[in-house]
Structure 1
Amino acid sequence: MSVSSRFYIGIHILSLLEINKEGNNSSEMIADSVNTHPVMIRKIMGMLKKSGLVNVTHGKAGAKLARNLSEITLFDVYKAVNAVNDNTLFNIQEKPNPDCPVGKNLQVTIEPIFSLAQRALEKVLEQVTLQDIVADLDRDSDSLD
Structure 2
Amino acid sequence: MHISNKCSLAIHCLIFIHEYGTANKVTSELLSLSTGCNPVTIRNILSALKKDGILDVKSGTGGATLVMKPENITLYQICMAVEPDALDKVVGVHSAPSPFCPVGRNICSVLDDTYEKLKEDMAVSMKAITLDKILADYHNTLKNNS
TM-score between both structures, scaled by the size of structure 1: 0.90
Q: Work out whether residues 55 and 64 of structure 1, in 8 Å CA contact, stay in contact via their aligned partners in 2.
A: yes
Deviations 1:87-143 (A, max 9, x none): 523233455432221111000111111111111211111111100111111122122
Deviations 1:35-57 (A, max 9, x none): 11101100111111111111111
1:24 maps onto 2:12 in alignment: no
The match for 1:116 is 117
The match for 2:64 is 63
Q: Work out whether residues 96 and 103 of structure 1, in 8 Å CA contact, stay in contact via their aligned partners in 2.
A: yes
Structure 2 CA distance for aligned equivalents of residues 125 and 136 of structure 1: 15
Q: Secondary structure at the match of 1:52?
A: coil
TM-score between both structures, scaled by the size of structure 2: 0.89
CA RMSD in angstroms, aligned pairs only: 1.7
Q: Work out whether residues 25 and 60 of structure 1, in 8 Å CA contact, stay in contact via their aligned partners in 2.
A: no
How far the C-alpha of 1:28 sits from its partner, in A, is: 0.5
- Worse-matched range after superposition: 96-105 or 43-52: 96-105
Structure 2 CA distance for partners of 1:32 and 1:76, relative to 1, 3 Å:
same
Structure 1 CA distance for aligned equivalents of residues 128 and 86 of structure 2: 21
Structure 2 CA distance for aligned equivalents of residues 70 and 113 of structure 1: 31
The match for 1:6 is 6
The match for 1:104 is 105
One-letter amino acid of the structure 2 residue matched with residue 76 of structure 1: Q
Unpaired runs of at least 5, structure 1: none
The match for 1:53 is 54
Structure 2 CA distance for partners of 1:33 and 1:6, relative to 1, 3 Å:
same
Unpaired runs of at least 5, structure 2: none
1:73 maps onto 2:78 in alignment: no
- Worse-matched range after superposition: 92-101 or 126-135: 92-101
What is the aligned residue count? 144
How far the C-alpha of 1:21 sits from its partner, in A, is: 2.0
Q: Secondary structure at the match of 1:91?
A: coil
Structure 2 CA distance for aligned equivalents of residues 60 and 20 of structure 1: 17
Q: Secondary structure at the match of 1:4?
A: coil
- What is the percent sequence identity of the aligned residues? 27
